[in-house]
Structure 1
Amino acid sequence: MRAAAAASGMPLTHVAALLTGPPPTTDVELHTVASSLTELEERVRTS
């Protein structure tokens, strides 16, 4: 998680919550998590 946070420039707390937090319970939460994971992946990949 630390490496992903460092590479992405996102706060460690945000990355940790995204990767280990509770599963989404609504469609809106699912969309938010999916978008955040995509953003994290893109930032890490292009770092």
Structure 2
Amino acid sequence: MSRRRIGRIMKEKGLVSKYTVAQFKPRKSKVNESEIGNLLNREFNQDH
């Protein structure tokens, strides 16, 4: 069978191959710079 025929049959059945599903790709972020702000103004103290 050709890949096109298999693709058509899979499409009719609502199947998606694991290979074609987009995988998570981590992005490099800058060190010690968080995009999420300190909205609650939390201050942590290690002594307690």
Q: TM-score surpassing 0.5?
A: no
Looking at secondary structure, tell me which structure has more helix per residue: 1
Q: Which has the larger radius of gyration?
A: 2
- What TM-score does the superposition give when structure 1 sets the normalisation length? 0.28
- What TM-score does the superposition give when structure 2 sets the normalisation length? 0.27
